[in-house]
């Protein structure tokens, strides 16, 4: 039966049952759109994939994401054997809403991670690499589940010599990662990373079985600091200062 309004014009009764879920989704999306960027879009879902076997799903704030992108770019500029890519997803809040609505599933669901990633170039004096000196490029990919034992860390440290240091090359399997936030002396974070040698190291690393690094991560464009030592026990901090001339590390806890 066709109903009429007060003027006598016919109209049909609305079917509201099918519209409520859609309206609810629209309202939820409007909430996301109306929220400030510091709340709804402050974090991004990110995948970090490296050719050494690293594959991490992370939730990162804007500043950390930029640091990570800078660090991966540094691996291209100062290559030593590790190559990584960063893939950025969407807002975690938006992903949750779409999942609840049955329209999508969260792209990433891994546990939180502590990690240290990046590459730097270190200058070496003529005394270290005669007759005129040279450089060492260091690539790093280290990670573990947040809250897990430091000795559960995995990843790699690779070193490749340049100039008069070109005979030096080594690869180390990460056996410890210890992240402290904030770091010392104004650093936003500090990481102690150690690794056990893989294969046959050469040149400056010919007798090295364990490498210890201490990284002080400063916000870009401030230069990060690196200390290192050889043949200490796993999880021992590196103490000998190195001269970083270029590159970037990102150190993060709980991402």
Report the alpha-carbon distance of residue 25 to residue 10 in Å, rounded: 32
Q: Kind of pairing, strands 134-145 and 154-163?
A: antiparallel
pTM of the model: 0.78
Domain membership flag for residue 29: no
Domain membership flag for residue 35: no
Q: Based on the structure, what is the number of domains in the chain?
A: 1
Q: What per-residue confidence (pLDDT) applies to 43? A: 79
Q: Could you tell me the residue range of the domain that residue 92 belongs to?
A: 43-252
Structural contact between residues 182 and 217, judged by C-beta atoms closer than 8 angstroms: no
Query: Quick one: what percent of the chain has pLDDT higher than 70?
Result: 75
Domain membership flag for residue 161: yes
Q: Which residues pair with 119 in a beta bridge?
A: 139, 248
Domain membership flag for residue 209: yes
User: Which one is predicted more confidently, 9 or 233?
Assistant: 233
Domain membership flag for residue 188: yes
Domain membership flag for residue 160: yes
Average pLDDT over residues 131-157: 97
pLDDT in tens, 86-134: 999 855 454 444 445 544 444 455 679 999 999 999 999 999 999 999 9
Q: What per-residue confidence (pLDDT) applies to 42? A: 52
Q: Which two tokens stand for residue 28?
A: 């939820």
Helices of type H across 79-212 = 92-100
């Amino acid at each position: 039966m066709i109903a009429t309004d007060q003027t006598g014009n016919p109209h049909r009764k609305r079917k509201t049952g099918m519209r409520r879920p859609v309206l609810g989704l629209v309202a939820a999306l409007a909430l996301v759109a109306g929220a400030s960027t510091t709340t709804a879009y402050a974090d991004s879902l990110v995948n970090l994939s490296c050719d050494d076997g690293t594959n991490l799903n992370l939730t990162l704030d804007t500043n950390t994401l930029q640091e990570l992108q800078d660090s991966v770019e540094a691996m291209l500029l100062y290559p030593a054997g590790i190559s990584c890519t960063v893939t950025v997803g969407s807002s975690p809040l938006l992903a949750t809403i779409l999942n609840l609505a049955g329209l999508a599933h969260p792209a990433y669901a891994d546990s939180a991670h502590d990690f240290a990633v990046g590459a730097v170039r270190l200058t070496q004096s003529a005394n270290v690499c005669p007759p005129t000196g040279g450089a060492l490029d260091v690539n790093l990919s280290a990670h573990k589940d947040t809250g897990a034992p430091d000795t559960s860390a995995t990843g790699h440290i690779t070193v490749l010599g340049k100039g008069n240091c070109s005979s030096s090359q080594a690869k180390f399997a990460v056996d410890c990662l210890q992240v402290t936030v904030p770091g010392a002396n104004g650093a936003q974070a500090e990481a102690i990373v150690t690794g056990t040698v893989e294969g046959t190291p050469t040149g400056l690393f010919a007798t090295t079985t364990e490498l210890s690094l201490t990284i002080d991560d400063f916000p870009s464009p401030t230069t990060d600091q690196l200390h290192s030592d050889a043949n200490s026990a796993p999880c021992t901090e590196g103490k000998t200062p190195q001269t970083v001339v270029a590159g970037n590390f990102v150190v993060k806890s709980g991402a």
